[in-house]
Amino acid sequence: MFGDARFWNSFRVTAVYVLVGVPLQLALALALALLLDKGMRGLPLYRSVFYLPSLLGGSVAIAILWRQVFGKDGLVNGALAWFGVDGPGWIGYPDLALGTLVVLNVWTFGSPMVIFLAGLRQVPEMFYEAAAIDGAGRARRYFSITLPLLTPIVFFNLVLQVIFAFQAFTQAYVVCGGPGDATMFYTLLLYKEAFTELDMGYASAMAWFLVLVVAAFTAVNFWLSKYWVFYDD
C-alpha cells in the first residue's frame, strides 16, 4: 500500500481538502453566527435557511446540482459571461476541480454555525458590560471575551468537521469523479479498490489506515487544546 503512488496522491488530495476546507468552513460559520447573534428580525428563518445546506450537502442531489453550477455551461460561467469572461470547465480541469469541492464543503457551514450561535448565547453579558465600562472597543471585547469563551465550541466543531472531511466521498464521486486523479479522495480510491477491483484486502488495509490517521489527528487536537482552549471553570 505504501508503495502505491495513487494511495499517496489520494492521501495528499484528502489532506488538502481537510486543511483548507475545514478552517474556511469554521471561519464562515463563526462570522455568520456573530451576525445572527445580534438579534436581527427573522432570526429563526435565517437560521433555518443557513442550516439547510448542512442537511443536504452530502446528498447526491446537491452533488449533481453542484456539478451543474460549476460545469462548462453552468451557472458560474453564465455569470462570468455577463462580464465577457469565458470561464473554464471548473469540475473538469484538474487544477480547479478540488477547489470546487472545497467550496462545496465550506457551503455546508450550517451545522457548526448553529453550534457557534448556541455558544455565543452562553457568554455572560456582565463580561461585556464590565469591558464597556473599562473602555474596551468592539474588537477588544471580541478577542478578549467572546473568542476565549468560545474556544471549547471551536474545538468541538474542529474535531467533528475534521473527522467528517476525512470521510468525504459523495462530493468527489458525483461532482468530479476524479479528473486526472485531482479529486481522487482517499475514500473514493478505497471504494474503487473494494468494489471495482474487488481487492477487499487492500481496501481493508486502507480503511484501517484511515482510522489510524483520523485517530492521530483527533489525539493531536486534544493535546494541543490545552494550549488554546479556555474553560471558565
Domains in the chain, please, with CATH?
Answer: 5-228 (1.10.3720.10)
Q: How far apart are CA 185 and CA 178, in angstroms?
A: 8
Decide if pLDDT at 71 tops 80.
no
Q: 160: exposed, middle or buried (C-beta count within 10 Å: 0-12, 13-18, 19+)? A: middle
Q: Is the model more confident about 83 or about 29?
A: 29
Farthest CA pair distance, the chain: 68
* Residue 155: predicted pLDDT: 96
* Residue 153: predicted pLDDT: 94
**pLDDT tier at 57 (50, 70, 90 boundaries)?**
low
Decide if pLDDT at 58 tops 60.
no
Predicted confidence (pLDDT) per residue in 212-232, tens digit: 999 999 999 999 998 999 886
Predicted confidence (pLDDT) per residue in 87-137, tens digit: 777 777 777 888 888 888 888 888 899 899 889 988 888 888 898 888 888
Predicted confidence (pLDDT) per residue in 123-180, tens digit: 888 888 898 888 888 888 888 889 999 999 999 999 999 999 999 887 777 766 556 6
Q: The pTM is what?
A: 0.86
Q: How far apart are CA 160 and CA 143, in angstroms?
A: 24
What is the mean predicted confidence (pLDDT) over 3-32?
93
**pLDDT tier at 208 (50, 70, 90 boundaries)?**
very high
Q: Do the beta carbons of residue 32 and residue 207 sit within 8 Å?
A: no
**pLDDT tier at 40 (50, 70, 90 boundaries)?**
low
Q: How many residues does the chain have?
A: 233
The 3-state secondary structure of the chain, one letter per residue: CCCCHHHHHHHHHHHHHHHHHHHHHHHHHHHHHHHHCCCCCCHHHHHHHHHHHHHHCCCHHHHHHHHHHCCCCCHHHHHHHCCCCCCCCCCCCHHHHHHHHHHHHHHCCHHHHHHHHHHHCCCCHHHHHHHHHCCCCHHHHHHHHHHHHHHHHHHHHHHHHHHHHHCCCHHHHHHHCCHHHCCCCHHHHHHHHHHCCCCHHHHHHHHHHHHHHHHHHHHHHHHHHHHHCCCCC
